[in-house]
Each structure stands twice: as C-alpha cells, then as structure tokens.
Amino acid sequence: MNAQGTKYYAKLDDIFKLKSSPQIMGILNITPDSFFDGGRYTVEKNWLEQTSTMLEQGANIIDIGAYSSRPGANNISTQEEETRIIPVIKSVIKHFPAAIISVDTFRAEIAKNAIEEGALIINDISGGTMDDKMFSVVAKHNTPYILTHIQGTPQTMQSEPSYENITTEIKGFFNQNYAILKELGHSKLIVDPGFGFGKTIDHNYELLSKLDEITAINLPVLVGISRKSMIYKLLNSSPQEALNGTSITNTIALLKGAKILRVHDIRQAKEAITIVQQLAIS
C-alpha cells in the first residue's frame, strides 16, 4: 500500500456512506489505440506530466488503463497488459506517493499484481464477467472495487445490444453481485452503469434519465461518460469536440446522485461539481 493508503481508506468510508462530495477520477490511458487519447501517454515523461496536471487541477483518483475497451478494440494478452501497466503504476507511485491509484482491468492476475504494487482501487469494466477469479482477489484484500455493467465484451458489446428494461436489469446485476461480494467478505463496492458498454445511444440516454433509480440502491455510483460516442454521435461531432456535451451529461449525472466522475478533463468536471454543490446549499 502506498503512503496515502490508510488516510485514503478513512476518507473513502464517507463515499461508501454516501456522505462525501463527488470525487473526480482522472483517466490515464497508456494504450496506443484508445478512442480519444490513444498513444499520448505511452512514455514516462508524458504520463508523469499528465498525472501532475490532473492532480493539480483537482483529480482525487488517477485511473490507469493498459487495455483499450473501446468498441471493437483488439484483444491483448495478459502478459502484454501487465508489461504495459506495472511500470506505470510503479512510476506514478514513485513520483506522486500521495496519489490514489486505480487500475482499469478485468483480469484478476493484473488486479492482484497492481494491488501488491500499491494500487488502491480496481476498476473492472466487465463487472467480474470476464474473469471468475476477480471477486476472490478484491475480496481477499477488501480493495475498493468498481463493478461495471457490460453486455458482451469490448469486441462484441456494440453488435446488437438488447434489453427488456435496461434500468431494472442493471439494478438486478448490481444487487446480485453485491450479495456475492458481501458473502466473500468484501465491503467496498462502487457501481458503474457502464455507459457505452453494450448499449445503444437510446439505451444510454434512457439510463442517464433514470440514473436516480440506480443511485437509490445506496451504493456509490461512478459515471464514465467523458467524450463518448453517446455524446459526439448524437451531436454529429467527434471525441475532440465533445467536451461541452461531457460537461452537460456529467452535470445531469451529478444532479441524479453520481458520486464519482471518470473524466479526461479535470477542471471542467470540478466546475460542474462546484456548481451542483452550490445548488444544494442555496
């Protein structure tokens, strides 16, 4: 555990009790093919500069990912993912020992090794569906775990996503897996509805409109909408032009109870949080 671990877990308790201010998770993609910033942070100088910028702008958590989960992305081996991500975890912790490191992986082996290197959160886009050992790993360490809803895999998820009732099905997925993790002794669960992970544009906006039904299950909810196709395809633009749409959708998510925003753009997310909090006290 890195230097910030004990202090952070005490602070994180307030998130699990739904007391704290919304948190900002800054995205650090070290993949060559991510949909927005692929290839920018694959050398140490660049990933350290980006980490420094995000922390200075107000990021509470740095989420490091080495496996591209964009629709249709290439599948890479566990060995390649580990070769990419472990040096970055070590580097970021060395240069920013107070940083809260989250690791974006669906593989239990990567999660285990990341925790041993000092990562404090595991962010699993598959919600345990792509590696049946994941729950055991996070339960053993009682590591804060982000359980994301997905339909399919990154390679298949956007082929023909289908739901009878998307909100009900996602709530059921969360409740079922919360019970499993609790039985294993895990008590630090965050849930992510998985915008864009096996959902059409209409599914995504239905889910956003009913997000308060998800936050009502009394688990902290993370929302990761930043610059996604649900924004730029609707607006006939591009990921590079989707910052304004991201701020709008993040604000809606905050108003509906989201506790963590996973974003590329820290300053704008912090502004959204400040404005929504001012509404609450006015």
Instruction: Considering the candidates 70, 112, 171, 262, report the single residue annotated as catalytic.
Output: 262
> How far apart (Å, rounded) are the C-alpha atoms in residues 81 and 24?
25
Instruction: Considering the candidates 84, 112, 227, 228, report the single residue annotated as catalytic.
Output: 228
Tokens matching residue 136: 């055991």
220 close to 234: Cβ distance less than 8 angstroms: no
Active site (annotated) includes residue 228:
yes
Nearest CA to 105 out of 84, 9, 93 is that of 84
**Coil, helix or strand at residue 177:** helix
For the beta sheet containing 23-29, the strands, ordered from the edge strand earlier in sequence to the opposite edge, are 189-192, 145-148, 121-124, 101-104, 61-65, 23-29, 260-263, 222-223
Active site (annotated) includes residue 227:
no
> How far apart (Å, rounded) are the C-alpha atoms in residues 77 and 273?
38
Catalytic residues: 228, 262
